[in-house]
Structure 1
Amino acid sequence: MADQSASFKDKFSTAIGRFSGSRFVRAIMAAGYSVITFSIVGAFFLILTVLPTAFPIPGFAAWYAGTIGRFTNVFQVIYNSTMGILALVFSGTFTYTYTQIYRDEEHLNLEPLNGLMMFLMAMFITVPQLVWKNGSIQFVQSLNKANIIGGGYAVSTSGITRIASVGIFTGLIVGWITVQIYRFTIKHNWQIKMPDSVPAGVSNSFSALIPGFCVAFVVGAINLALVMVGTDLFKVLYIPFSFISNIADTWWGFLIIIFLIHFLWWFGIHGATIMSSFYTPIVLANMAANVHGANHFFAGDPLNAFVIIGGSGATLGMAIWLAWGSKSAQLRSIGKVEIVPALFNINEPILFGLPIVYNIQLIIPFICAPLASGVVGYLAVTSGLVPKIILQQPWPTPVGLSGFIATASWKGAVLSVVCALVAFVVWYPFIRHYDRTLLKHEQATEAQEAAEQN
């Protein structure tokens, strides 16, 4: 049985490791990192527009309206220039990185910048809304206030709709198609080769000419076929994205995500990295929707704000207790090393030093503590007790400040601290028992060493 268990662990870890190291996942992770700067810049200017809500101080709203509030439309424009083009930034970085990975690992004559440019072309093929009418393809036109469409482009005060966060999933699929077509054409030598004397920039442009035509033809043909049956590529791809998003936004879907993150971590696999490759497009889209009136809990970065405070396993409170409350020399030393990183949601010293990974004695609190804090966070926000998440804080943001930034409210800060305390309540009996077990072992070892010396 032990051999079978070890075999299962090895096979499971290998399979998940291969997935996490796949080209597609690595490219998505790079895309996720690329939007951090954009989301932080956008968040700063969004905060400027919601200051009266964040600080409900008597007289402040009137002062704001006569000063900073006069420039809110400018702040909105800057916000739209970050979050309003999120599909292009996220999916464009994905395509660039994906092309780069294939170039380096398959040693193909692929130019990442060409991949990016072809993606932008292909993406904008899917952006205009078209309709088959009176025997021809026509642009959709609408002057309805709730749905303004001119020349096929749906617009609002947030900019062109389909290139914002709602287009991320479409962008990923279009990016994948672009790279695969580019890769196929180059592998089969469908390219125009220029003499060595021609400058590299000119040569690269011509080498992408045939792949570019192929990308335009394939994406355009798919979109045309769908338009003729009453839909288009964007709408078809948005259906599964919307379905998955709705599931993730439910309390049980949210808890499943938390469970999977920690179940994978217990095997030594970075669960947060694996799962975020799936849910990052969803939380970004939900966050942008919240800014414009929606009410999604699973938006921005709810995990680092209200769930895994101190790192995976919600170990901040436990780390503090290890440093000052534990009796075991091993745990106390680990706590002192971990206390500062834990404030910034980094807890590898605990995961591998305690250890938690493969430690059957600590798997229950490791999974249940973040589930408990997740339930508290979910209920507080969805009940309206705490404002919804409208900003994405940097993941290392300390407890309290993370909740404040995420919700632009002091209530979010309080909730963040409460969630950390709830997680510690779950951890306490288990870590205290573990501390006593290690202390007895240390004392027995010391007694044995002393006896051997005598």
Structure 2
Amino acid sequence: MNNPFMQKFIEIAGRIGSQRHLVAIRDGFVAIMPLIIVGSLAVLINNFPPFGKFDLVHILNGIFGEGNWQQVGGSIWNGTFAVIGLLIAFSIAYNLAKSYEVDGLSAGLISGAAYIMLVPWTKDGGLDVAWLGTQGLFIAIILAIVLTELFRVLVKSKFTIKMPEGVPDGVARSFVALIPAVLILILVGLFQACMGVFAGTSIFEIVFNGIQKPLQGLGNTLPAAMIVAFANHFLWFFGLHGTNIIGSVIEPIYLPLIEENAKLFADGMSAFNVPYVVTKPFFDAFVYMGGSGTTIALLIAVFFVIRREKNHPYREVAKLSAPAGLFNINEPVIFGLPIVLNPVFLIPFIFIPVVLTVISYFALATGLVPKTVAILPWTTPPILSGYLVTGGSWRGILLQVINLSIAVLIYIPFVSAGVRALKQRMMEKAS
């Protein structure tokens, strides 16, 4: 740790993790995650697998009539996944403006209005809903950042209307944002007109075909998945929140993939046949079991290795960490054992997720296990998550059990080494 290179790396990674725009993107996606989960669960319920006489679909059809109850799930989808680009345009702008201590609500509304202005229209005079969803994510991110920066500059300049004291705050904020909103929306309108005249297409199509689509294709590959798994845990080992640091980069790539899988699944396609293997639920369900580093396997390994010494420090930490670990909350074990900056656990903590990524990728890509078709709350316990993300398949559970078994076997010798090292340090301290 006294190595200048490592110190510089930690400093740079820390700066990246706290970079204002990346934090706004991350927080923007986190803010709408409840809506994404609700929309995903609506699709899952609409296509729930049969259980004989306990078949949910059969029961609901009997109560509400054939297919009528599925309209509820369809409406939920339309209000969540189908407009996720618009939601992100608002959410990121709001969070970025708040970080500058300017009016977040006004910035979010301007960003949302500008997004609608740029969405192509259909021949019958309606908005092309394809660009309101995940296909418009990159435009939503770019637009939110650029327009919020412009809004900040204008608000802090003289191009505002200052209301006298005594005027309600909500009214005063509205007038402060009035002139910046007018200027920004005029610029967006001029840009849209120029795109139609000189490019003959929309900015959505240019960005989607030139940037978003190639990145999504790259993200669905095994090498990209391995890099994501490695980078996340390499950062975590140094005490940096790897999930947060790289989340703002991978969310725009992997979220559209699970959206496409879920949409096709809702349309009746089998979870085996949906196109994308690597998605956010792919990592959450099959790699990050117990949290980053598959630490639920580490807890099992600790209980297996240390069976007699009931008050051993490792065992005490494991007992305290186990309840949270079942719900994928693993900070107690990461900082309590600790794993951070502990050379004993460097290799298993970083490379077990990479190994599980490879195993899971081949299991899904070869059709042994259905692909992921639903997003769940990240606190969903293993076994249940494996069943649900694969559209209700026992094979998802089996893959989780196999992955956990492999992770436990890999962790066991390192736990034994850690126990010996701790014992030796205690003996040296006592002498």
Fold equivalence (TM over 0.5): yes
Which has the larger Rg? 1
Q: Give the structure 2 partner of residue 173 of structure 1.
A: 142
Deviation (angstroms), 1:305: 0.6
Q: Give the structure 2 partner of residue 402 of structure 1.
A: 385
Over residues 396-426 of structure 1, what are the superposed CA-to-partner deviations in whole Å (9 max), with x where a residue is unaligned?
A: 1111111122122232222222222222222
Unaligned runs of 5+ in 2: 265-273
> Helix, strand or coil: the match of 1:361?
helix
Tell whether 2:326 aligns with 1:343.
yes
The match for 1:128 among 104, 120, 128 is 120
Between 324-333 and 235-244, the greater mean CA deviation after superposition: 324-333
Matching of residues 326-365 of structure 1 within 5 Å: 326=306, 329-365=312-348
Contact 1:307 1:370 in 2 (8 A): yes
Matching of residues 269-418 of structure 1 within 5 Å: 269-293=240-264, 294-326=274-306, 329-409=312-392, 410-418=394-402
Q: Give the structure 2 partner of residue 132 of structure 1.
A: none
Deviation (angstroms), 1:10: 2.3
Higher relative contact order (CA 8 A, sep 6+): 2
Deviation (angstroms), 1:58: 7.7
Partners of 1:62 and 1:179 lie apart in 2 by 46
Contact 2:303 2:315 in 1 (8 A): yes
The match for 1:217 among 176, 179, 186 is 186
Partners of 2:99 and 2:55 lie apart in 1 by 52
> Helix, strand or coil: the match of 1:179?
helix
Amino acid at match of 1:261: N
Q: Give the structure 2 partner of residue 434 of structure 1.
A: 418
Partners of 2:18 and 2:355 lie apart in 1 by 31
Amino acid at match of 1:221: L
> Helix, strand or coil: the match of 1:411?
helix
Q: Give the structure 1 partner of residue 58 of structure 2.
A: 63
Contact 2:258 2:372 in 1 (8 A): yes
Q: Give the structure 2 partner of residue 244 of structure 1.
A: 215
Amino acid at match of 2:205: K
Q: Give the structure 2 partner of residue 87 of structure 1.
A: 85
> Helix, strand or coil: the match of 1:390?
coil
Partners of 2:61 and 2:322 lie apart in 1 by 45
Over residues 162-185 of structure 1, what are the superposed CA-to-partner deviations in whole Å (9 max), with x where a residue is unaligned?
A: 111222221111111210111111
TM-score when normalising by structure 1: 0.84
Contact 1:368 1:426 in 2 (8 A): no
Partners of 1:223 and 1:298 lie apart in 2 by 35
Over residues 293-342 of structure 1, what are the superposed CA-to-partner deviations in whole Å (9 max), with x where a residue is unaligned?
A: 34212224222211021121112122122135227722222222222221
Q: Give the structure 1 partner of residue 200 of structure 2.
A: 230
Deviation (angstroms), 1:394: 0.8
Amino acid at match of 1:298: V
The match for 1:264 among 235, 238, 248 is 235
Amino acid at match of 1:399: P
Partners of 2:313 and 2:192 lie apart in 1 by 62
Deviation (angstroms), 1:62: 8.1
Percentage of matched positions with identical amino acids: 29
- Residues 445 and 195 of structure 1, relative CA distance in 2, 3 Å threshold: closer
The match for 1:420 among 393, 404, 410 is 404
Contact 1:283 1:301 in 2 (8 A): no
Amino acid at match of 2:261: N
Deviation (angstroms), 1:437: 2.8
| Higher strand residue share | 1
Partners of 2:28 and 2:172 lie apart in 1 by 28
Contact 1:299 1:390 in 2 (8 A): no
Partners of 2:168 and 2:342 lie apart in 1 by 59
Partners of 1:55 and 1:439 lie apart in 2 by 54
Contact 1:322 1:334 in 2 (8 A): no
Partners of 2:280 and 2:7 lie apart in 1 by 34
- Residues 352 and 89 of structure 1, relative CA distance in 2, 3 Å threshold: same
Partners of 1:301 and 1:44 lie apart in 2 by 13
- Residues 214 and 47 of structure 1, relative CA distance in 2, 3 Å threshold: same
Q: Give the structure 2 partner of residue 195 of structure 1.
A: 164
Partners of 2:57 and 2:348 lie apart in 1 by 48
Partners of 1:213 and 1:265 lie apart in 2 by 45
Q: Give the structure 2 partner of residue 16 of structure 1.
A: 13
- The Cα RMSD (Å) is 2.3
> Helix, strand or coil: the match of 2:343?
coil
Q: Give the structure 2 partner of residue 111 of structure 1.
A: 103
- Residues 330 and 190 of structure 1, relative CA distance in 2, 3 Å threshold: same
Partners of 2:422 and 2:319 lie apart in 1 by 17
The match for 1:98 among 69, 82, 96 is 96
Unaligned runs of 5+ in 1: 104-109, 130-139, 142-149, 155-159, 449-454
TM-score when normalising by structure 2: 0.89
Tell whether 2:239 aligns with 1:255.
no
- Residues 339 and 152 of structure 1, relative CA distance in 2, 3 Å threshold: same
Deviation (angstroms), 1:353: 2.6
Tell whether 2:45 aligns with 1:48.
yes
